[in-house]
Each structure stands twice: as C-alpha cells, then as structure tokens.
C-alpha cells in the first residue's frame, strides 16, 4: 500500500492553489482527479511534498490541463522535487512544469 495522498486547497488572488503531499499513483490519483474537476480558471498545483508520481498521476494532470484550457483557464504545476521533475522530463511532459 502506498503513502496516503493529502490534498489541501486554498485561494489566493482569485486562483486556486492545490497543495499535494504524498504519492500520486493508481491508488490515489482518483482523489486528485476529483479535486481538480471541481475548479475552473487558473489552478496552481504545488508539488513540493509529492514523493512519487506514476503514469496515472501524469494522466490526471494532462486531463485537467486539457479541460481547463477549453475554457479560459490553465493548470500550472510548481515546485516539484528533482525526482518528480525527472518523471515529467523523461516522459516528454516537461511543458507541464514551469521554466520549460
């Protein structure tokens, strides 16, 4: 069993900030998906405390970004740890991260 995923949502200057901690994997990604589906506009996801991400987690972010961009929104990921950033890089999803 993986590490529990913790999700906290705050709002700052009209933007949702979703802080995620723990592992984003097959077991936990549905909780993150359900959370992100609640929002429109610009959604910022803080990955500073994410310890692991697999393809199901990447899929959540791809789907959320696509949905948000159909309106006037966007998904912005920030502060991933180096090993999490590397997953985005090796899968060709670097454009989801800042400074790409």
Segments in the chain below pLDDT 70: 1-2, 99-100
Q: What is the pLDDT of residue 100?
A: 45
Domain range 6-96, CATH architecture:
2-Layer Sandwich (3.30)
Q: Which two tokens stand for residue 87?
A: 């997953």
The residue extents of the domains of the chain are: 6-96
Q: What is the mean pLDDT of the chain?
A: 93
Helix, strand, coil percentages in the chain from 3-state DSSP, rounded to 5: 35, 35, 30
- Structure confidence by residue, pLDDT tens digits, 86-98: 999 999 999 888 7
| H or E element, residue 63 | helix 55-70
């Amino acid at each position: 069993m993986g590490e529990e995923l913790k999700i906290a949502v705050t709002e700052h200057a009209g933007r949702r900030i979703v802080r995620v901690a723990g592992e984003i994997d097959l077991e936990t990604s549905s909780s993150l998906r359900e959370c992100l589906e609640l929002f429109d506009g610009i959604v910022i996801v803080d990955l500073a405390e994410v310890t692991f991400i697999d393809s199901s987690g990447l899929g959540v972010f791809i789907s959320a970004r696509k949905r948000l961009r159909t309106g006037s929104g966007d998904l912005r990921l920030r502060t991933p740890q180096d090993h999490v950033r590397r997953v985005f890089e090796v899968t060709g999803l670097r454009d989801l991260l800042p400074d790409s």
